[in-house]
């Protein structure tokens, strides 16, 4: 009897281990253009929005968060007020004014970084540089993150494409897709977030969509709201903030328009996706 019970217990433990090994995992990923801190925004400037930004992130609780337009003190404010998160990133240039980050924040209790870095969207991506017909330096920040419990890894990438140069946007898409393939070994799940300054139908997305799936159109539950609001001046007219996934499946996609105590948390609405990993 004791031997039979021991065998049954061992079989049950083995079955449970197999279930855990084969079970799917989910990750919530968010892209959020903070809007840089500038006095030109008047009542909508950063000091009047920053607490609401913390409330939004704390409420939505993304596992991985890609931010755009973060000046050094804005990134530091997030780090100081989001103790559950760690972050990686490098400013896009050496100017103290306008040195924007496309930083990646991640749930530090869930993930540990395996490797991270930043490359420039240019003909010389491994050094600080401006590419093609871009008006500004543009970057991609990336991190390979290991789930502390399962040991599985994913690659997160975050970017902000140029707002002026059409050639720069097109070539940036090619470079981002190529680097995603290299950095992931073409095997890891990949999350690509960013403000691409382009509508979903723009041909520039061809190399990205040849490698990734757009969360907005492949998720079972989704919306098609505009993401650039211009503090109410261009409500729901421009869909330029996107999330793409590779070796993963978007389950839901949502444009975060909820009220966090200020008229607008930014001149962009954040977007988020619940993603199932293999």
> Residue 97: pLDDT band by 50, 70, 90 thresholds?
confident
Domains in the chain, please, with CATH? 30-35+45-277 (3.60.10.10)
Using the structure block, give the residue that is written with the tokens 């607008």: 264
More confident residue, 17 or 172: 172
| Tally of CB atoms within 10 A around 264 | 21
Residues 94 and 110: their CA atoms lie apart, in Å, by 32
Residue 33 pLDDT greater than 90, yes or no: yes
Provide the pLDDT for residue 17.
40
| pLDDT at residue 135, rounded to an integer | 97
Asked whether residue 268 carries a pLDDT value surpassing 80, the answer given is: yes
Asked whether residue 234 carries a pLDDT value surpassing 90, the answer given is no
Q: Does residue 9 register a pLDDT over 60?
A: no
Higher pLDDT, 5 or 264: 264
pLDDT at residue 173 is higher than 80: yes
* Cα pseudo-dihedral 53, 153, 185, 159, rounded to 10: 0
Mean pLDDT estimate for the chain: 92
The percent of residues in the chain predicted with pLDDT above 70, rounded, is: 91
Q: Residue range 201-208: average pLDDT?
A: 97
User: Above 90 in pLDDT, residue 158?
Assistant: yes
Reference 215, options 189, 251, 268, 179; nearest CA is: 251
pLDDT at 128 over 50: yes
Task: Round to whole Å and give the CA distance between 278 and 276.
Answer: 7
The predicted model scores a pTM of 0.91
> Is residue 34 pLDDT above 70, yes or no?
yes
Structure tokens at 134: 């871009």
Mean pLDDT of 13-34: 70
In percent, the amount of the chain with pLDDT more than 90 equals 87
Query: Where is average pLDDT lowest: 11-20, 66-75, 209-218?
Result: 11-20
In the sheet that holds 104-107, the strands lie side by side as 85-88, 104-107, 64-68, 25-33, 271-277, 249-255
Assess whether pLDDT exceeds 60 at residue 143.
Answer: yes
* pLDDT value for 13: 43
Q: For residue 6, is pLDDT > 60? A: no
Give residue 123's pLDDT: 98
| pLDDT grade for 84, boundaries at 50, 70 and 90 | very high
| Residue corresponding to tokens 């970084």 | 113
Report CA torsion sign: 34, 35, 40, 41.
Answer: negative
Q: According to the model, what pLDDT value does residue 96 have? A: 73
What pLDDT band is residue 18 in, cutting at 50, 70 and 90?
A: very low
Least confident of 96-100, 151-155, 172-176: 96-100
Rounded average pLDDT over 181-191: 98
pLDDT of residue 276: 98
The b/e string for 186-198 (b: 16+ C-beta within 10 A; e otherwise) is eebbbbbbbbbbb
Q: Crossing angle for the helix pair 46-60 and 72-81, nearest 10 degrees?
A: 40
């Amino acid at each position: 009897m004791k031997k039979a019970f021991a065998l049954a217990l061992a079989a049950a433990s083995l079955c449970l281990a197999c279930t855990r090994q084969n079970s799917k995992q989910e990750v919530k990923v968010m892209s959020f253009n903070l809007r840089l801190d500038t006095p030109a925004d008047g009542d909508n400037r950063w000091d009047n929005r920053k607490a609401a930004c913390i409330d939004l992130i704390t409420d939505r609780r993304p596992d991985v968060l890609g931010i755009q337009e973060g000046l050094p003190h804005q990134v530091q404010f997030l780090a100081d007020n989001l103790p559950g998160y760690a972050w990686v990133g490098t400013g896009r240039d050496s100017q103290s004014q306008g040195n924007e980050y496309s930083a990646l924040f991640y749930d530090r209790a869930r993930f540990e970084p395996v490797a991270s870095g930043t490359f420039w969207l240019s003909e010389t991506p491994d050094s600080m540089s401006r590419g093609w017909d871009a008006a500004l330096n543009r970057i991609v920040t990336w991190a390979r993150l290991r789930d502390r419990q399962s040991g599985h890894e994913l690659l997160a990438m975050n970017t902000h494409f140029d707002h002026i140069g059409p050639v720069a946007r097109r070539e940036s898409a090619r470079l981002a897709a190529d680097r995603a393939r290299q950095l992931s070994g073409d095997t890891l799940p990949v999350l690509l977030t960013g403000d691409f300054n382009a509508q979903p139908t723009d041909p520039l997305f061809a190399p990205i969509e040849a490698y990734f799936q757009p969360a907005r159109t492949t998720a079972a539950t989704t919306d098609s709201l505009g993401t650039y609001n211009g503090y109410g001046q261009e409500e729901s007219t421009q869909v330029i903030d996107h999330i793409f996934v590779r070796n993963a499946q978007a389950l839901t996609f949502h444009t975060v328009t909820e009220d966090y105590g200020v008229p607008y948390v930014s001149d962009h609405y954040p977007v988020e996706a619940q993603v199932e990993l293999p």
